[in-house]
Amino acid sequence: MANEQTLEVLSRLIGFDTTSVRSNLALMAWVQDYLSSFGVDSELVYDEAKTKANLYATVGPVNKAGVMLSGHTDTVPVTGQNWTHPPYRLTEENGRLYGRGTADMKGFIAVVLAAVPEMKAANLQTPIHLAFSYDEEIGCLGVRRLIETMRRHPVQPAFCIIGEPTGMQVVNKHKGKLAACVTVRGQACHSGMAPQGVNAVNYAARLIGWLEREGLKRHSEGPFEEGYEIPYSTIHTGTVQGGTALNIVPDHCSFLFEMRNIAAEDPRRLLQQLRDLADDLVTDMRRVGPDCGIDIEVTTEYPGLSTAEDAEVIAFVRTLAERDTIASINFGTEGACSAGSWRFPRSSAALAAWTRGTSRMNLSS
């Protein structure tokens, strides 16, 4: 079970409703005050509307590269879910902690913050950087602004550990994602005169059927990438909305789909193929309705992550986590957005120096 300080911090974090549609500024103000009480300065990087912010702070020397510990502050909604405990109040029961975000991922942030007094007392020779972001759950949006700001800093972190819930497995890769909204504009008429209209639902169904067939093709033919529970790219349609009444040929239909791609596939190729098919369908639609059309808008996109198994950073994190193995996950993280921005020291001597600099910090308890 977590120690008393971690529980106290986690209780405060859970108390803030930071669902992605809401602001996280109240939580960030609390974190800034908390860090300031231990003499740690922090920087906020806002979104355009200044309703949300990322936070960046350094414990230890600011003129050296260091280890970055990263987590997102936003959570997914609780609407329509049958919670047996209050989602925004930490509850302990039978050795378990309940509350929205306890695992994903305020629990990690609480562990990191609870360790700040120990970090300060350790007289660190290698700094520990803290990076807390907004809007990870809706496409890793906030961290992109944070990365751009950090690139202007004179000293960059050497590498980043993201505390997503993996059961303490050391994860070195995950799939990328491309999500898009497809809007079909047809031509309405009475259903008794259906041939004089353009059924937007039917044309949307053709596109959805094509996406399903492409997904099935990857299931049977690949390409495949070992290490994943599902070792191929997946294609999924999540929502469909269209039509107003059964006796009216629908003039509108929209749907959302996504592709979770392995490294061997470029999701933009699938997107272009879908657009080519849509162009062909529009030509057919406009034979009846000249104002018909199909719009495809990318709503979310982030790359996959792939860190070499023999990279020294993997050996380093295995030591911290006391794990001999590595794993792959099917969900995305902010790690892919910053991959390649920082480089871990290559020599074994440097690795030993990093280990000595951070071994007193047990951030996995």
| Predicted pLDDT at 140 | 82
pLDDT digits (tens, 9 = 90+) for 317-338: 899 889 888 988 878 787 767 6
Of residues 338 and 89, which shows the higher confidence score? 89
Highest mean pLDDT (candidates 15-29, 296-310, 345-359): 15-29
The active-site residue out of 17, 104, 135, 136 is: 136
pLDDT band at 355 (very low <50, low <70, confident <90, very high): very low
The active-site residue out of 17, 74, 135, 164 is: 74
* 94/201 Cα distance (integer angstroms): 50
pLDDT exceeds cutoff 80 at 358: no
| Predicted pLDDT at 348 | 31
Tell me the sheet residues that pair with 110.
none
pLDDT exceeds cutoff 80 at 339: no
Least confident of 232-236, 319-323, 357-361: 357-361
| Predicted pLDDT at 363 | 32
Provide the mean pLDDT of the chain.
89
pLDDT digits (tens, 9 = 90+) for 98-153: 999 999 999 999 999 999 999 999 989 999 999 999 998 888 888 888 888 888 88
pLDDT band at 89 (very low <50, low <70, confident <90, very high): very high
Please choose, from the candidates 261, 242, 257, the residue with its C-alpha nearest in 3D space to the C-alpha of residue 332: 261
pTM above the 0.85 mark?
no
Domains of the chain from N-terminus onward: 4-172+305-358 (3.40.630.10), 176-302 (3.30.70.360)
Check if 74 is active-site: yes
Kindly give, in sequence order, each residue whose CB lies less than 8 Å from that of residue 119, ignoring residues fewer than 6 positions away: 59, 60, 128, 361
| Predicted pLDDT at 347 | 32
- State the DSSP string of 170-228: EEEEE-EEEEEEEEEE-B-EEGGGGGGSB-HHHHHHHHHHHHHHHHHHHHHH--B-TTS
Please choose, from the candidates 131, 137, 118, 13, the residue with its C-alpha nearest in 3D space to the C-alpha of residue 60: 118
Check if 265 is active-site: no
Highest mean pLDDT (candidates 73-87, 198-212, 336-350): 198-212
pLDDT band at 2 (very low <50, low <70, confident <90, very high): low
Work out the average pLDDT over 173-198: 96
